[in-house]
Amino acid sequence: MNKKLKSFLVFILIFSIVININTNVVMADKNSKNKSPNIQAGCAIALDSKSKVVLYEKNAYQLVPMASTTKIMTALVAIKYGNLDRKIEISKRSAGVRGSTVGYKKGENIKLKELLYGLMLRSGNDAAIAIAEGVSGNVEEFVKLMNEYASEIGVLNTHFETPHGLDKDEHYSTAYDLSVVTSKARENELFTKIVNSKDVDGKENDFTRSYHNINKILWEIPYANGVKTGYTGKAGKCLVTSVNINGNEVIIVVLNCPGRWKETKKISEYVNNNYEFKKMFSKDDNAVDINLNKKKLRLKYGEDIIIPVNPECKYTTKIIKPEKIGCTIKKGDKVGKLCIYKDGKKIYSTSLKAGNTFRIHRFHFLNKFNF
């Protein structure tokens, strides 16, 4: 790399300064009766699926075994890379796996789509092996895909060793990571349909058998719509749940939780009773203007900003503007950020976008006098 090019690249690096432009004065009520619940679980979290704001957490970032909640990623990878109509032959390894199974027999040919129902409704370890072999040729290659895709979607504290979740020393995740994986999985229409199914008729779906969902949370919480149970000796009882609260999806994870149904309900009720989902900014609304040399760069919100708000807390918003402006910024380019803070702690950030094309003759530094 020549010196001129290196200097140019260094010059266009963008540094950031924080400018406080708005404060939402929702103050704490010290006499509130709605206190954070005491959850009997090794790890737990409630996460707003869209904004990724954490609503409740207990040891949510601790590395732990996660049992069959692993199968959420197995299903996600299978849907992404597999042919749903392809028939997969059940191997000896699949038919002979230990733990919970559907009961597939060696030599049976099952469509990948049906195997996904067996995987998620019956927690079939045999389905997990069959899916891995059918999609990637063998289990080991499929597990590589699982780890690669986890990194791709920003899941950094998880490592998969199997597609079914039976105990292995290097098979672990966190409650937070599982909530992020589940949020991603529920963007897929087929995944959402599968995990919300209580009973599936085999004849109606051209399946080899019918399937009843073992996930009791679908009956325990009326507004629950998934997702997956899990249990092993090391992981204990686990549960990942998706609930619809006033049209907003919240992911609840409890790991190593003997009373997983009851504790999940407690978290769900806590979120329902303590949070309101507020639209703070609308897509394409003006966030801030940057004036420079009689020209104006308008920064806008790229999407509707809907945040779960606890009335007991104080929320503030800040704009991070670029300290340096380049010669040309095109309409729609990402420029600057919006950050939202709860009681002084950042809970959310998103990029702003340029509302107009902006051209100047040379780079400019910004300072407080430009605003």
Active site residues: 68, 71, 123
Query: 273 is written with which tokens?
Result: 């009773």
Instruction: Write down the residue that tokens 């507020």 correspond to.
Output: 278
C-alpha span between 327 and 350 (Å, rounded)? 24
The helix-helix angle for 71-81 and 175-185 (nearest 10°) equals 30
Bridge partners of 350, per DSSP, are 338
Nearest to 57 by CA among 253, 207, 231, 274: 253
Nearest to 69 by CA among 245, 187, 236: 236
C-alpha span between 273 and 30 (Å, rounded)? 16
Q: Which amino acid is at 127?
A: A
Instruction: Specify burial of residue 150 (Cβ count, 10 A radius: 0-12, 13-18, 19+).
Output: buried
Query: 105 is written with which tokens?
Result: 């027999």
Query: 6 is written with which tokens?
Result: 């290196």
